[in-house]
Amino acid sequence: MRPDQIQPEKYQQQLAEKQAGLNQLMADLGLPEMEVFDSEPCHYRMRAEFRIWHDGDDLFYAMFDSADPRTPIRTDQFLAASALINTLMPELLDAIRDVTVLRHKLFQVDFLTTTTGEALISLLYHKPIDDEWNAAAGELNKAFPACHFIGRSRKRKQVLTRDFVMETLTVNGQKFHYQQVENSFTQPNAGINEKMLTWALDVTKQASGDLLEMYCGNGNFSIPLARHFDRVVATEISKVSVNSAQLNIAINGMQNVQVVKMASEDVAAALNGETELPKSLLQAGMETLSPSVVLVDPPRAGLDEATIELIRKVDEILYISCNPETLKANLESLASTHQVVRYAMFDQFPYTHHVETGVYLQRKSV
Ligand SMILES: C[S@@+](CC[C@H](N)C(=O)[O-])C[C@H]1O[C@@H](n2cnc3c(N)ncnc32)[C@H](O)[C@@H]1O
């Protein structure tokens, strides 16, 4: 993305174009009318990554256009990023410009912020991080007491205070607290995430029984949705995210959610009867889980055949997708058994061609 692509005065126009494009792609699926959820037109991204460009002893943030990946675009401010990131950007460069050990071979800075004012800053180097760096970074941290710093080099990750932030999201007036760990998946647009969670609660408001969730990340959906179900079993491949989900379940006081670290392919193989139920699923009570709803939020590749066969067995499916192309293919597979009853577009990534979609499916009556 180029920084000059963010033009708040053109926000509504780009949203309308995205909506038209998605409707065109999905035209032959016979979907219900699309519900559209807009983003804040600027300062909507809670995280941002910048290359660092060196010019003699000076340095500046840079971004690149995918069409011209060799030419750095100087980026002193980035309208898409949170207001806090924009405040920190110049302050950080001012603080490290004259400290050779912090500046030398610094090639990237990653910011992760929250709506509650927390910030995690990762400094990435093309050199080993040593004790001298550690001491200088400690001094830097004193100048930014509200921030958490991490240094990264090829073989070392140096965490100065901690490697996570705590985010609070409000859904239907209720506050939910989430640990978000550096370099693990979190929804980038906090405002849109709150809208997605509110929508997910709305589409499942008549649900009862149990929820099976796959690709649960840090428990983003599992925790607010838990109140609609007797029990929730959620699965996820990343150990870091599973650990966060477990912490998040505890700090939000959820008693009925179990998280299991397992690849969706393995969950599907076990629940489709192709392999034995592994101990971790048994311990989570999977044998007695009776899901009335299954929630899937896969990566861009969408769902594999085995996972489609698994979710087809459940009466209601909540599918959150970050790739309309794979969503479309998966909906075509599911069309023989399920029909889409709710359909929403969430503008998670304004000014890009990326679209986040939510669909709610119910089993067709025979
Ligand atoms: C789009 S993210 C959604 C995470 C979460 N639902 C949220 O809202 O933050 C997709 C998640 O799927 C996980 N994932 C990727 N491949 C997987 C696989 N084969 N099996 C299980 N989880 C997988 C990723 O680690 C990531 O947490």
Is 236 a known ligand-binding residue? yes
DSSP letter, residue 220: T
Q: How far apart are the first and last CA of the chain?
A: 47
Do 216 and 359 fall within a single domain?
yes
CA atoms within 13 A on the CB side of 198: 16
Q: In this structure, are 93 and 157 located in the same domain?
A: yes
Which DSSP letter does residue 196 get?
Answer: H
One domain, residues 173 and 315: yes
Of 113, 139, 165, the position where a domain reaches its end is 165
Q: List, for residues 117-135, the tens digit of each pLDDT value.
A: 999 999 999 999 999 999 9
Q: Is 163 in the pocket of ligand 1 (CB under 6 A)?
A: no
Closest-CA residue to 102 (of 93, 111, 90): 93
Distance (Å, whole) CA 138 – CA 123: 13
Last residue of a domain, one of 143, 165, 187: 165
Q: Of 118, 139, 165, which residue sits at a domain end?
A: 165
Bridge-based pairing of strands 257-261 and 232-236 is parallel
Considering only 65-79, 108-122, 163-177, 261-275, which range has the smallest mean pLDDT?
65-79
Given a contact cutoff of 8 angstroms between Cβ atoms, the answer to whether 235 and 298 are in contact is no
**Is the domain of 27 the same as that of 159?**
no
Q: Which of 42, 147, 216, 322 is catalytic?
A: 322
- Which H/E stretch holds residue 120? strand 119-125
Same structural domain, 159 and 229? no
Structural domain for 56, as ranges: 47-165
- Are 64 and 138 in a shared domain? yes
For 113, residues 6+ apart whose C-beta sits below 8 A from its C-beta are 46, 47, 82, 84, 85, 119, 120, 165
Give yes or no: residues 201 and 231 share one domain. yes
Report CA torsion sign: 83, 15, 351, 47: positive
167 lines ligand 1 (CB under 6 A): no
Give the CATH number, domain containing residue 140: 2.40.50.1070
User: 318 CA to middle of ligand 1, Å?
Assistant: 15
Task: Check pLDDT > 80 for residue 12.
Answer: yes
- Grade residue 14 by pLDDT with cuts at 50, 70 and 90: very high
Q: Are residues 143 and 36 in the same domain?
A: no
- Cβ of 237 closer than 6 Å to ligand 1, yes or no, is yes
Domain shared by 269 and 306, yes or no: yes
pLDDT at 155 over 90: no
CATH code for position 188: 3.40.50.150
Same domain for 10 and 86: no
For residues 56 and 24, membership in a common domain is answered with no
- Our answer to whether residue 322 is catalytic in this structure is yes
Q: Same domain, yes or no, for 348 and 274?
A: yes
ipTM of the complex: 0.99
CA dist 52 and 108 (Å) reads 5
Q: At what angle do helices 324-334 and 11-25 cross, to 10 degrees?
A: 30
Q: What is the pLDDT of residue 223?
A: 98
SS3 322: coil
Task: Give the phi and the psi of residue 100 in degrees, each rounded to 5.
Answer: -55, -45
Q: Does 325 qualify as catalytic in the annotation?
A: no
What domain count does the chain have?
2
172 is in an annotated binding site: no
